[in-house]
A and B are shown apart, each in its own frame.
Chain A
Amino acid sequence: MPKMNLTHFEAAILFALFSSVVLGVITKRTDNERLRYGLRCFVYFVAALIGIGWLMHFGHG
């Protein structure tokens, strides 16, 4: 099994991507709504990632 080294950011982006795809698939009624919901989830994931990242940065001083 090849070894993979990802940065925090890369790992979190991939996590957000796959989670958003599944969240989009299992919700809503039409494909258009699913796509929009999945995209919105991904944006929220990334916004939380960046926001909480900055919070921790300032929290550590």
Chain B
Amino acid sequence: MPSTPAKSEAQSAPPRSWYPVVGLGWLIPGAGYFLLKRPGRGALVLVSVLSMFLLGLMMRGVMFQPQTGDILTTVIYVGGFIGDLASGLLYLLTIWLGYAQPDVAGHVHDYGTKFLVAAGLLNILGMVDAYEIAIGKKD
């Protein structure tokens, strides 16, 4: 009788509810990892997302507002808005405290806008990774 292959550590890890992991991970970048007892990875994601977001703000990047129109406008503005929103509490605090900047021409401001969106996208990557750990798909 053939022996069954041993389960890997990832497969045998007990799955847990992913809602708090993903929800907290959205609100505070890297917090999902802390909830999963992986503080090193959480700290690296937190520092990276926070640094990128703050650099974007200091470069006077623009927060996207959702707009629809032709396909390119919709993709850029709605996509940019989702990217900004993915930073969680950082985005909300920026809006609530009035740090959102008006759109200004210039390469530094453009970079700032991209940094703000990229911070949110990096946080989404962290949330997906934490989700996969929470459901036992990864170790």
Distance between B89 CB and nearest chain A CB, rounded to angstroms: 17
- B-side binding surface: helix, strand, loop or mixed? helix
A25 touches B58 (CB 8 A): no
- Chain B residues with CB under 8 Å of A4's CB are 55, 58-59, 108
Distance between A38 CB and nearest chain B CB, rounded to angstroms: 9
Is A26 located at the chain interface by the 8 A CB criterion? yes
A21 touches B107 (CB 8 A): no
A22 touches B99 (CB 8 A): no
Query: Within the assembled complex, what's the spacing in Å between the Cα atoms of A26 and B25?
Result: 14
- Chain B residues with CB under 8 Å of A6's CB are 55, 59, 108, 111
Number of interface residues of B (CB under 8 A): 26
Query: Within the assembled complex, what's the spacing in Å between the Cα atoms of A31 and B59?
Result: 33
B99 touches A1 (CB 8 A): yes
Contact mask for chain A residues 1-40; partner B; CB cutoff 8 A; 1 contact, 0 none: 1111110100100110011011101100100000000000
If A1-B58, A15-B114 are given as contacts, then 19 extra A-B residue pairs at C-beta distance below 8 Å, sorted by A number, are A2-B58, A3-B58, A3-B59, A4-B55, A4-B59, A5-B59, A6-B59, A6-B108, A11-B59, A15-B111, A18-B48, A18-B51, A19-B48, A22-B45, A22-B49, A22-B122, A22-B125, A22-B126, A23-B125
**19 A-B pairs in the complex with CB atoms less than 8 angstroms apart:** A1-B58, A3-B58, A3-B59, A4-B58, A4-B59, A5-B59, A6-B55, A6-B59, A6-B111, A11-B59, A14-B52, A15-B111, A18-B48, A18-B118, A19-B48, A19-B118, A21-B44, A25-B44, A25-B129
